[in-house]
Amino acid sequence: MDEQSIVTEFLERCNTYAKASIERKKERGEHEDIPKWESYVEFNQHAIDEIADGTLERWFAQPSEHTPPLHRLGVDEMTHLDRSIWLNSVLSPRPVVIAGTLDKEGNRNFAPLSSVMAVSTAPPYLTASFSIHKDGRHRDTLTNMRTTGRILLNMMPATQRGVELVDETATPLPQGEDEGLLLENFKTLEGQPLIISDSVAAIEAEYVEEHELPGAVARIAVLRVNAVWFSSTAIPVGGLAVLCQHGRDDMTPAPNGWKKRVTKHYG
């Protein structure tokens, strides 16, 4: 966690405590100190907002001096590994989801994906790419979607537990075996065997079609979103703190650090 996130989390905890104190004082009829606590909350919130919009960025460690991209590196001359590292480093971070599917016998499969992208909201479409195993077999997630037409995309918490879930469900297993059984305390919602209890949200989607990529073994699948699963019915304005892949193998929280809202695209 970076410096801005640490300070923001501390101030938010202070405000949580202060708001609870205000409520206790109201219950006890101790109204004389309430304005002081309300001013304290207001001051902290002002600081939180200025950290978020970058106003206080100069108070924290400064990034290294910017160097413009001066060198053109042709990817066709790179090895597969180098090309993967470059693309994963530049197009980063990306949210990591754990995809849950069922095979034709009803066996569960869980696998992490970092290629899921929203490409349309009307109708609501996602895309995801699926490579193949070294033996030429298609990924179980894609095979299961072709059979049942259903997939659940679990958005993972930005915690060590979230990383553990991603790492373990990435373990290659024979088709039909359940990655969820590799983990202790791995639970799903009652009546929803593909929604992981640890997830912060989930997207329920159906398989629509798939396309070959020219000259590639990976295939692009088009998914139609049917529902979003969340802890409440309130829209999470500002986005969720979800686990992301940064670079080729590292996991990181997002959003992280400062942010500033842009609105010009609304016209």
For the segment 20-46, what is each residue's pLDDT rounded down to a tens digit? Answer: 999 998 988 888 889 999 999 999 999
pLDDT band at 1 (very low <50, low <70, confident <90, very high): low
CA 155 to CA 226: how far, in whole Å?
Answer: 16
Strand, helix or coil for residue 168: helix
In-domain check, residue 64: no
The answer to whether residues 9 and 123 belong to one domain is no
Pair (117, 40) in one structural domain: no
At position 30, the amino acid (one-letter code) is: E
Structure tokens at 43: 């001051």
On whether both 120 and 250 belong to a single domain, the answer is: yes
Residues 43, 158, single domain; the answer is no
Start-to-end Cα distance in the chain: 35
Domain that holds residue 51: 3-59
- With 0-12 / 13-18 / 19 or more C-beta atoms within 10 angstroms meaning exposed / middle / buried, residue 193 is middle
Confidence of residue 137 (pLDDT cuts 50, 70, 90): confident
Residue 133 lies in a domain: yes
- Are 94 and 156 found together in one domain? yes
Which residue do the tokens 């993967």 mark? 84
Q: Is residue 77 part of a domain?
A: no
Domain end residue (candidates: 59, 75, 104): 59
**pTM value?**
0.70
In the structure encoding, which two tokens stand for residue 52, read together?
Answer: 């978020």
| Domain presence at residue 96 | yes
Structural domains of the chain, count: 2
Which bin fits 253, alpha (ψ -120 to 50), beta or left (φ > 0)? beta
Whether residue 142 has pLDDT greater than 90: yes
Are residue 111 and residue 212 in the same domain, yes or no?
yes
Residue 252 belongs to a domain: yes
Q: Per the domain annotation, does 73 fall within a domain? A: no
Verify that 91 and 187 share a domain, yes or no.
yes
Q: For residue 98, tell me if it sits in a domain.
A: yes
